[in-house]
Chain A
Amino acid sequence: MSKDQLIRVLIIDDELSIRGSMAGYLDDCGFAVSLSESTEKALRMVRESKYDVAIVDLRLRGLSGDVFIVEAAQICKDLKYIIHTGSVNYALSDELKKIGVKPEHIFRKPLDDLNVIVEAINELVKEGGKGE
Chain B
Amino acid sequence: MILKSNSILFKLLLFTVIVLIVAMSLIMFVAQYQLEAVIDASQNEVYSERIDSILEILSGGYRRLIEKANVVDYIEDYQQAALLTIRNRYHETADYKIYPFVINAADKAFVYSGGLDNPLGSLDKQNIEKVIRLRSGDFIYKNDSAEKKWCVFKYFKGWDWVVGYVIPLRIKYVEVHIFIEKFFVTMLIVSLIIIFAAGYFIVKLISPIDKLTEAAVAMSSGILDHKIDVRSKDELGTLARSFVFMRDVVSDKISALNKEILERAQAEEELSIVRNYLTNIIDSMPSMLIGVDNKLRITQWNKKAHDSIGVTYLEVKGRRLVEVFPTLQNEINRIKQSIEERVIIADSKVELEMGDTTFFSDITIYPLIFESVEGAVIRIDDVTNRIKLEESIIQSEKMASVGGLAAGMAHEINNPLAGILQNVQVIQSRIDKGDTKNIQIAQECGTTMGIINKYMVRRGITSMIEMVMESGIRAAKIVDNMLSFSRKSELVLMPQDIRLLLENMVDLAKNDYDLSKKYDFRKIEIVREYDDIINKVMCEKSQIQQVFLNILKNSAHALKDLIENQELSGLGNSSEDSVTRKPKITLRIKEIGKMVQIDIEDNGVGMEEDVRRRIFEPFFTTKEVGMGTGLGLSVSYFIITDRHKGIMSVRSTKNKGTKFTIQLPTEGYEK
Which residues from chain A sit less than 8 Å from chain B, CB to CB? Answer: 15, 17-18, 20-22, 24-25, 28, 59, 86-89, 91, 108-114
Contact = CB atoms under 8 A, between A and B. Distances in A.
A86 B419 contact: no
B417 A110 contact: yes
Nearest to B435: A28
B8 interface: no
A13 to B, nearest CB: 9
Interface in B463-491: 469, 472-473, 476, 483, 486, 488-490
Interface of B is mostly: helix
Contacts, number: 77
Interface residues of B, number: 29
A114 B435 CA distance: 17
B128 interface: no
B418 A109 contact: yes
A110 B490 CA distance: 21
29 contacts: A15-B415, A15-B416, A17-B416, A17-B420, A17-B423, A20-B423, A21-B419, A21-B425, A21-B426, A22-B422, A24-B426, A25-B426, A28-B426, A28-B437, A86-B410, A86-B418, A88-B411, A88-B414, A88-B483, A88-B486, A89-B486, A109-B414, A110-B420, A110-B422, A112-B421, A112-B469, A112-B473, A113-B425, A114-B422
Contacts of A25: 422, 425-426, 429
B483 A17 contact: no
Nearest to A107: B418
A109 B426 contact: no
B227 interface: no
Interface of B: 407, 410-412, 414-423, 425-426, 429-430, 435, 437, 469, 472-473, 476, 483, 486, 488-490
Nearest to A21: B422
A123 to B, nearest CB: 20
Contacts of B412: 86
A24 B418 contact: no
Given A24-B430, A110-B476, A112-B473, A86 B425 contact: no
B415 A109 contact: yes
A56 to B, nearest CB: 14
A17 B425 CA distance: 12
Nearest to A59: B411
Contacts of B420: 17, 110
A111 B415 contact: no
Nearest to A109: B418
B194 to A, nearest CB: 134
Contacts of A28: 426, 429-430, 435, 437
A113 B422 CA distance: 8
Contacts of A91: 490
A86 B476 contact: no
A86 to B, nearest CB: 4
A111 B407 CA distance: 18
Given A88-B410, A110-B417, A112-B421, 14 more contacts: A18-B419, A21-B425, A24-B430, A88-B414, A88-B483, A91-B490, A109-B417, A110-B420, A110-B472, A110-B476, A111-B421, A111-B422, A112-B469, A114-B425
